[in-house]
Amino acid sequence: MRVDGTARSLRVVLAEDSVLLRDGLIGLLTRCGHEVVAAVGDADALLTAVAEHEPDIVVTDVRMPPDFQDEGLHAAVRLRETRPGLPVLVLSQYVQRSYASELLDSGDGTGVGYLLKDRVGQVEEFVDALHDVAEGGTVVDPEVVRQLLRRRRDPLERLTPREREVLALIAEGKSNGAIARELVVSEAAVGKHIGSILTKLDLPPADETHRRVLAVLAFLRA
Amino acid sequence: MTGPGFLLSWWPWRSIAYLFTGAVVGLAVLVSIVTVAAVGGILAVVLVGLPLLVVTALSGIPVARVERRRLRLIDLDPAPDQHRTPPAPGLWPWLTTRLREQTTWRELGYALLFGGLLWPVDALVVTVALLFPLSMTATPLLMATVGDGTEAKVLKQWTVTSWPAAFGVAALGLVLLGLCAYVLGAAAGARAELTRLLIASREGELGAKVVELARSRVRLVDAFEAERRRIERDLHDGAQQRLVALSVTLGLARLDAPPGPLADQLTKAHEQAGKALAELRELIHGVHPKVLTDYGLQEAVADAADRSVVPVDVDLELPGRPHEAVEAAAYFVVCEALANVDKHSGASRATVSGGHGDGRLFLEVRDDGRGGANTDGGSGLTGLADRVSVLDGRLALSSPPGGPTLLRVEIPCELTERPDRSA
């Protein structure tokens, strides 16, 4: 867990209609040294609260009043249209590629996260993901990643199993170091795999972080 | 009506009552219809009469109601009302339902026939069949009163001048009265048959029942879908939220707990909460997947393909969204088919393709497995075939032993515009 000197304290706007869970999230975020500047219960209030507080990151539920459809997700997409690069972490009760890709298609795909609500309980993982997203990373829930890996379709068909594994970990928001630790290989080996993945996905060398996001997007759309 | 018991029963009286009230009601019907239609026709020039003309068109309904009630005088079988219940309360739904029903127009036809032709016949039969024998029976009485004991006229035709002749005529009248009772019974019976044929016929009843059954089946499917969605929502906004909150609390408690048996217990509890959440999530998804509601069939099928262990190619293009029940049935067919592919087929690849054309939604699920699937033996496919047939659709399965298996579903439906997701 990175609740130490290196991690900055984030100003968070939280949107969650269940009071019970909202209180739990506020407690969790406060406990980890972040400040919840506004906690709201519906999508309209979310838009207003973001305009008012200009937070570092928005954490929102997908399903919210009044219709309990995907208001939260759409509010997030709209927020990112007017404020490109605003980090948004969306919590969903479902594993849904459609939600994840709609979110990632908003803006350039950096600074977004799509996590299952279950993941909030894994406090360390959740807070790590929060930081990654706030710093412009892209985080996709491992459950979505797992489902996507079952579909061995173009363009992923060109990748070796190891490369797919690495790509999946990138999608989960892991750094090269973290990937190396997880797969028990050297960081140089991870770098080599990533290079090969980017080549196979036709992503010519450019800004390194940006290409990683594009690779995740390609992965999601596969 | 056979045997002398008839004469002593209530039936002759019931027949007389039926025919007599028929004459009275028929006259009233004639007067009312003519009045309303005439006034309506005249006032139609200034538009206020148009509602009156509508009333005229609907006049068969009250007439038929009275007639069905009157029918019970001589017909023991109930004559059911064949009108449908309007879909919503209020005058307008009632009016549009009635005006679209065949029954309404058949009843109007009956009312016109009744007012124009049937009631005079009723009146004639009851008059002739009662008046003739009664006046013959009354001959001695007439002779004693108006005829001064010397003469009396029978049916204003023949004159009798002696008492024995008068009593003879009276006896003849009594016999005739008995015969006329049969005539009245037969006339009333025929008249009732005609009424039943026109406003309460068995065939109409059966047809109405079949239509109603088909409708109620569709209503059941809709109710079933609504209930699924309600359950999904309840689980989702209730149990699942609480479990997530519990999991968060346990996660926080773990951070704060000093290492030791308490921390271990908390870890265990936390893991169990996580497992319960995962199970609940799968359960809710099986009840009614949210992606189907939010994004429609195309995305839901792609999602089902994602979940399949066997790799699945999806080729489904829909320019709009079908009705909810159709969407749900189609989705569950695909899910069941893919589950079967996973479990039984031994296939290495499956394809889901489909589209919309000629007013029907069609879907095909094929795999390269060993085949041998069938819809007997209580497989999930039977239930799906039933669900599809409720929507007037068809489910066809081709699965020779050795494979490949091809499942095809066709459901008639119209597509509605795809809602704009970017709004």
For residue A175, what are the contacts with CB-CB under 8 A and spacing of at least 6?
none
Q: How confident is the model at residue B160 (pLDDT cuts 50, 70, 90)?
A: confident
Name the CA dihedral angle for B177, B178, B180, B184, rounded to a multiple of 10 degrees: 120
> What is the Cα–Cα distance from B373 to B336, expressed in whole angstroms?
12
Angle between helices B11-43 and B49-58 (to 10 degrees): 160
CA atoms of A54 and A37, how far apart (whole Å): 9
Identify the pLDDT of residue A7: 66
Within 13 Å of residue A101, how many CA atoms lie on the same side as its CB? 17
pLDDT tens for A33-90 read: 999 999 999 899 999 999 999 999 999 998 888 777 788 888 998 998 888 889 999 9
CA–CA dist B207, B229 (Å, integer): 33
Q: With 80 as the cut, is the pLDDT of residue B261 above it?
A: yes
Q: Report CA torsion sign: A142, A143, A144, A149.
A: positive
What residues of A are in contact with residue B274 (Cβ under 8 Å)?
Answer: 118, 121-122
Whether chain B has a CB inside 8 Å of the CB on A204: the answer is: no
Listed residue (A193, A51, A196, A102) closest to B291, CA to CA: A102
Of B240, B248, B313, the CB nearest to A24: B248
Cα separation, B53 vs A106, whole angstroms? 61
Task: Give B97-137 pLDDT, tens digit per residue.
Answer: 888 888 888 888 888 888 888 889 888 988 888 888 888 88
Q: Which two tokens stand for residue A123?
A: 């406090």
Judged by CB atoms closer than 8 Å, whether chains meet at B244 and A150 is answered as no
The C-alpha R_g of chain B, in whole angstroms, comes to 38
* A118 reaches B (C-beta below 8 A): yes
Give the three-state DSSP class for B354. Answer: strand
Interface contact A63, partner B, CB < 8 A: yes
**Distance from the A18 Cα atom to the nearest Cα atom in chain B, whole angstroms:** 7
Residue B255 near chain A (CB below 8 Å): yes
Given an 8 Å threshold on Cβ–Cβ distance, is A98 in contact with B295? yes
Q: What would the pLDDT profile of B263-318 be if each residue is shown by its tens digit?
A: 999 999 999 999 999 899 888 888 888 888 888 899 899 888 888 888 888 899 88
How many angstroms separate the CA atoms of B121 and B110, rounded? 15
pLDDT for the residue numbered A4:
45
B396 reaches A (C-beta below 8 A): no
Residue A41, chain B, CB below 8 Å: the answer is no
Contacts of B364 by beta carbon, 8 Å cutoff, 6+ apart: B351, B352, B353, B354, B406, B407, B408, B409
Query: ipTM score here?
Result: 0.76
Put simply, the answer to whether A150 touches B309 (Cβ < 8 Å) is yes
Residue B287 is predicted with a pLDDT of 85
| Contact residues, B window 277-316, toward A, CB-based 8 Å cutoff | 277-278, 281, 284-285, 289-291, 293-295, 299, 302-303, 305-309, 311-313
**3-class DSSP state of A142:** helix
Minimal CA separation from B370 to chain A, in Å: 22
Collapse the DSSP code of B233 into the 3-class scheme (helix H, G, I; strand E, B; otherwise coil) and give the result.
helix
Q: Are A65 and A17 in contact (CB under 8 A)?
A: yes
Q: Which residues of B touch A14 (CB under 8 A)?
A: none
> Cβ(B180)–Cβ(B135) under 8 Å?
no
Separation in Å, CA of B245 to nearest CA in chain A = 5
In contact, A84 and A107? CB cutoff 8 Å: yes
Q: Count CB-CB contacts under 10 A for residue B70.
A: 18
CB contact under 8 A, B249 and A24: yes
Higher pLDDT, A45 or B225: A45
Query: Which among A18, A25, A93, A105 is the top mutation candidate for probing chain B, defined by the most B β-carbons within 10 Å of its own β-carbon?
Result: A93
pTM of this structure: 0.61
For residues A192 and A182, what is the distance between their CA atoms, to the nearest angstrom? Answer: 16
* Tokens standing for residue B73: 């005088």
Complete DSSP assignment for B286-345? HH--HHHHHH-HHHHHHHHHHH-SS-EEEEE--SEE--HHHHHHHHHHHHHHHHHIIIII
